Chains A and B, each alone.
Chain A
């Protein structure tokens, strides 16, 4: 089983839609969880950390489900500028392991 798995997509959604991505991880002892955004041929940029109680940053909400070993990212009111690849990253006081990413295209 791969350490960190994501549905590669693409997710094609209209502007204004709500879209959610999941990311599963294999190491139940993992402690650190993050969502990154990566634009084509650019570096990953930290979008948000994922906390046990869940957390929200504007239109973005991240959740952690330890029992089922996955994290989720919800984007509300999608904008054209949200089009990118979303990477999850998981760690345990160790170097982060990244998923391959989920591609999102927001269409006008």
Chain B
């Protein structure tokens, strides 16, 4: 079964440092997403990406966040200057059409110290 792949599985970083989280969506999917889940909280939408541009973003996705699809396979989330409250599980997801459910990657656990 096709998978969404995320790396790294766990990242520990110091406050103020930049991190890049990487994702390889399913190859024939066109819609890509980043969500995050703070421990014990719900899965929250960050940003959606279609046709090489951001299609929607939440109020969480402020200027310290950016996304890129640098080549035909990778989809990255960059956090420029991490804060303690950015500590969460970050999930990448993809789907082939807007009416379908997502396939999630296994997530990157980000710990900011």
Question: Could you tell me which A residues sit within 8 Å of B by CB distance?
Answer: 31-32, 34, 36, 41-46, 49, 87, 89, 91, 93-101
Contacts and interface: CB of A to CB of B under 8 A. Distances in A.
Contacts, number: 51
Given A41-B89, A44-B91, A95 B45 contact: yes
27 contacts: A32-B99, A32-B101, A34-B101, A41-B109, A43-B91, A43-B104, A43-B105, A43-B106, A43-B107, A44-B43, A44-B91, A45-B104, A49-B100, A49-B101, A87-B42, A89-B101, A91-B98, A93-B98, A93-B99, A94-B98, A95-B45, A95-B48, A96-B45, A96-B101, A98-B42, A99-B42, A101-B42
Contacts of B75: none
A87 B92 CA distance: 17
Measured as residues with beta carbon below 8 angstroms from the partner, the interface class of chain B is: 20 to 34
Contacts of B43: 44, 87, 98
